[in-house]
Structure 1
Amino acid sequence: MTSTTKDATEQEMFGHPKGLFYLFFAELWERFSFYGMRALLTLYMVQEIFKALVERDAATAVVYASYGSLVYASTVIGGRISDKILGMRSSIFLGGVLMAIGHFVLAIENNVAFFLALAFIVVGNGFFKPNISTFVGSLYPEGDTRKDSGFTIFYMGINIGGFVAPLLCGWLATQYGWHYGFGLAGIGMMTGLIFFWSGIKKNVFGDRGMPPSKEIYEKKIIGIPQKILVPTIAVLTVPLIAYILSAYKAIAGGESFLGDQTYVSLIFKLIGVAIVIYMAMIMLKSTPDERKKLFMAILITFFMTLFWGFHELSGSVITLFAARNVNLTFLNASQTNALNSMFIIILAIPISLLWAYLSKRNLNPRTPYKFGLGLVLAGLSFYILALSGGSADENGMVPMIYLLAMYFIISVGELFMSPVGLSKITDLSPKRIVAFMMGVWFLSSAYAFQIVGFISKQLAIESTDANIGGLDTLAVYIDGFSLIAKYSLGAGIIVLIFGPLMKKLMGNIH
């Protein structure tokens, strides 16, 4: 171990490596920027970018889904580039700068600038997001029992950012204009980078996060060192991604040779086919025990994708529902995006204590039952929204308590599923393909946004009226929420029924 590593290890704060708290604040502010922008995005597109379109809800749904899919898919590519060439430090800086540029470009009132901004955030997130989480893990030696609590502290930063950002950015957007809200998100990203930079200057990370090989980092391709070539290519991909995001017939005008789908949906269909073929080949070469566990890992990924597909409607359909059909108190529609993070912060410790209490009595549910219950809870949350129609007034406005109850229940469902899913993928996957399965797991969030796009298009309202709402829109949303509830409840019940079989597939893994 080098002396720099030892020095960094010895620098502790509250019993953890000091570097954890610099990464905590860097991620808190990065998530502030991300969720602050996301809280405004759907409403901004409906009310400004596509306000002249009759199909503005549908166009918004397509862009939101494509953006979300690419944001999560980019992490797979960015993670690989970091592992092979840049290292975590350079990747985090590159990603942070690109995301900050994206947020600031959003403050420009121009449709071309809008799509370029989204593209900058897509590319930047690919470099930033996978590497900062990995950086946290690198702070702890192998087998360090503090690692789990360190990640708990780190993830609390994510949710603090996710809670505060919609409140502040949503308030600024309402009081002073959309672009002030987007601008604050950009300032948040820059603040995160400053924290990360100060940690490097104070040597709290030791020699961690450096490029895996200085020779590869400096290696010239077409006369350009890779440390310069990679950022250059990243910037050059921005216009291409911006075009892909905007290439939908309702946005670009006229008919598209893709029909009613987008470049992004076509790309993800092709990726999906390739993954299925590759998984089939792996299955054929696996031992019977590996095959069982791998099949269970695929099932976990599938059901998590379904859950996130319903959960991520919070930034699209549910935000529009809040704006058009909910009697909001103290919060505006964009600020309701803070409710999920608020409940996660409140509930995370009680639920983790619940699992510890049940474990001592050998009553802690196995993973399949937690997943089944999580999907049932997601279904119940949408069923509550569907019931809200019975309490609507003559203007089609429902009490806010239904929205609060929905977010509370789906947040409990998230805590049942999300914390255990990632660790179970690593446990169930054969060692030779763990990295590939982790990539598939991250892609599941990207595919979830394809579900979001499909549902959002089905619930799209055709109108150019900025103040649309009332009983007509309420009927569309209530019918949609009812159908989502049935699918989620049905999936949860199926998982619970087949829970004993899934336990056998998992073998000795809890």
Structure 2
Amino acid sequence: MSTADAPAIPALEYQSDRAFLGHPRGLGYLSFAEAWERFSYYGMATLLALYGKYQLFQPGHIERIWGFGGFRAMLEGHYGPLSPLTMGGAIAGLYGGFVYLTPIAGGIIADRWIGRTRAVTIGAVLMAFGHFCMAFDQTFLIALACLLVGVGLFKGNIAAQVGDLYAPGDLRRADAFQIYMIGIQISVVAAPLVCGGLGQKVAWHFGFGAAGVGMLIGLIVYLSGRRWLPAEPARIAGSLAEPRPKLVAGEGKRIAVLALLVPVLAFTAVGNQQLFAAYELWGDAHYQLRFFGWEMPSTFLISFDAAMSFVTMVGSVAFWRWWATRRKEPDELTKLTIGSIIATLAPATLALASLHEAATGEKVSFAWAVAFHFFNDVGFANIFPVGLALYSRASPKAIGSTMMAVYYLNLFIAGLIVAQLATLLDRMSGFEFWGLHAVLMAAAVVVLLVVRGVAGRLLAPAIDPESPATA
């Protein structure tokens, strides 16, 4: 019997388990595995736009990429002529979006055929191979294809396993996803320092190779914790582990509301998703990054954001735990709305910074970067993990993995928006560019307020008095 086929512990045992920070120990294995996967992803994503601008899309390299002529023609047919700067930003934005489209197929494959564990395992192998393919100019498009398919099998399914550790009414679920995100943020701090530092200071391909090693470590961690993961509704050793659930009456309304929320959430994410596309390029050109004679690599902006995100994620978990001891804790949809309001202030900050730069002729002080990342990351802490918790809880069990992948579609749509916006970087002033982001995000906040008023009750949690958190 392979590690992937090893039987998981019974549901009641892992739902009552509190061995990992008051949560099931399976959360620890899933969090660390996802953290290493995110190390590999953000290590690669941090380098992608800059690598394209400074090397891959320059003469002498771009001609070596297998099949790139047709790919470039397709891009420029949509966006118009692209320089190495805007091509790097556009491809980074598209990649950052499409990694959240392929989980739809990955969720369907897991739900209907191979189960979540096999899907996650195959996905990890494909991603590791893709990262190593980034070490060669010729295999750039092959690398992107492997990474997109691999993320599709990995991303939604491992998140669905986090949700499956908890009973439907277990109030620890949202807290669990925030802890899950804290583990990720630690790796996101390290990834730009390790992969970005190697890529910018040593050689681009060393950075991509480090990302591949990180993915292999994540796979080992995941398989080592297989015993503590939720049981699969799939065939194990020729018999059903448990029957697959079916849709029941009334669940269609919830599915419809959750699906309609996806494009709204996409617009709340454009500020954060722009980090790996236009923001990194804009910061490279406009921030004052020299400190005491040392020039900070622009990839370190991503590590700074991740460090800030770690602090704000921990702070958010602590705040809502404190709030719950004194007042009724708001539901996920309310937290999403609060987070979106705060996140909108982030691009508004950069718009003001651009006005100051235009007025003074001096590069933007790093203090403006601190303000941008603070607002962005406080908002993110109350949007992304809370959205995961909402979709994990409110989605019908019959299509749990698929609906988690549907949630990730908001980041796919955001990636398409970000790619389109990134092509405007050299055509608009900084005030106009970042102001446009703020306006789009503010419009999404208005829609969220309407949805909360009209459909809030449909998505509200039902408290289970027998769940471990309420016992």
Tell me the TM-score normalised to structure 2 length: 0.76
CA contact (8 A) 1:165 1:338 kept: yes
Instruction: Report 1:406-421 matches (<5 A).
Output: 406-421=372-387
Distance 1:326 1:135, change over 3 A: same
Q: 2:43 aligns with which of 36, 47, 55?
A: 36
CA contact (8 A) 1:89 1:210 kept: no
Q: 2:425 aligns with which of 459, 462, 466?
A: 459
Does residue 180 of the first structure (1) align with residue 206 of the second (2)?
A: yes
Distance 1:498 1:72, change over 3 A: closer
Deviates more, 1:173-182 or 1:49-58: 49-58
Which residue is equivalent to 2:196? 170
Please tell me the residue identity of whatever aligns with 1:303: V
Which residue is equivalent to 1:479? 432
User: The residue matched to 1:392 in structure 2 has which SS?
Assistant: helix
Distance 1:294 1:71, change over 3 A: closer
d(CA) in 1 for partners of 2:175, 2:403: 25
d(CA) in 2 for partners of 1:3, 1:65: 40
Does residue 5 of the first structure (1) align with residue 9 of the second (2)?
A: yes
d(CA) in 2 for partners of 1:25, 1:92: 14
Does residue 341 of the first structure (1) align with residue 306 of the second (2)?
A: yes
Shift of 1:329: 4.7
Deviations 1:348-397 (A, max 9, x none): 23323333444455465565554444333233211111111244387652
Deviations 1:201-230 (A, max 9, x none): xxx44894595355699xxxxxxxxxxxxx
Deviations 1:414-469 (A, max 9, x none): 223223323434666677776665443222221111111111122246xxxxxxxx
d(CA) in 1 for partners of 2:170, 2:255: 28
Shift of 1:191: 1.6
d(CA) in 2 for partners of 1:199, 1:507: 32
Shift of 1:93: 2.2
CA contact (8 A) 1:78 1:126 kept: yes
CA contact (8 A) 2:160 2:392 kept: no
Please tell me the residue identity of whatever aligns with 2:51: Y
CA contact (8 A) 2:133 2:140 kept: yes
Deviations 1:200-259 (A, max 9, x none): 5xxx44894595355699xxxxxxxxxxxxxxxxxxxxxxxxxxxxxxxxxxxxxxxxxx
Deviations 1:77-116 (A, max 9, x none): 11222233323332222111111111111112x1x31111
Unmatched runs of 5 consecutive residues or more in structure 1: 218-285, 462-474
Does residue 77 of the first structure (1) align with residue 105 of the second (2)?
A: yes
CA contact (8 A) 1:372 1:491 kept: no
Corresponding residue pairs, total: 423
Unmatched runs of 5 consecutive residues or more in structure 2: 1-5, 60-80, 241-248, 464-471
d(CA) in 2 for partners of 1:98, 1:312: 24
Tell me the TM-score normalised to structure 1 length: 0.71
Instruction: Report 1:232-381 matches (<5 A).
Output: 296-329=257-290, 331-362=296-327, 364=329, 369-381=334-346
Deviates more, 1:82-91 or 1:176-185: 82-91
CA contact (8 A) 1:309 1:450 kept: no
Please tell me the residue identity of whatever aligns with 1:60: G
CA contact (8 A) 2:339 2:382 kept: yes
CA contact (8 A) 2:108 2:402 kept: no
CA contact (8 A) 1:84 1:212 kept: no
Shift of 1:156: 2.0
CA contact (8 A) 2:134 2:208 kept: yes
Deviates more, 1:317-326 or 1:392-401: 392-401
Please tell me the residue identity of whatever aligns with 1:59: M
CA contact (8 A) 2:174 2:386 kept: no
Which residue is equivalent to 2:88? 60
Shift of 1:144: 6.4
Distance 1:425 1:324, change over 3 A: same
Shift of 1:154: 3.0
Identity among equivalent positions (%) equals 29
Deviations 1:466-503 (A, max 9, x none): xxxxxxxxx63332012222232344346447864555
Shift of 1:160: 1.1
Does residue 129 of the first structure (1) align with residue 90 of the second (2)?
A: no
Which residue is equivalent to 1:249? none
Bigger fraction of residues in helix: 1
Please tell me the residue identity of whatever aligns with 2:387: G
CA contact (8 A) 2:344 2:441 kept: yes
Q: 1:404 aligns with which of 370, 395, 401?
A: 370
CA contact (8 A) 1:382 1:481 kept: yes
Greater Rg by CA: 1
Distance 1:66 1:25, change over 3 A: same
d(CA) in 1 for partners of 2:402, 2:229: 29
Does residue 386 of the first structure (1) align with residue 351 of the second (2)?
A: yes
Q: 2:130 aligns with which of 102, 108, 120?
A: 102
Please tell me the residue identity of whatever aligns with 1:70: F
CA contact (8 A) 1:50 1:56 kept: yes
Distance 1:368 1:332, change over 3 A: same
CA contact (8 A) 1:6 1:206 kept: no
d(CA) in 1 for partners of 2:205, 2:260: 42
Shift of 1:37: 0.8
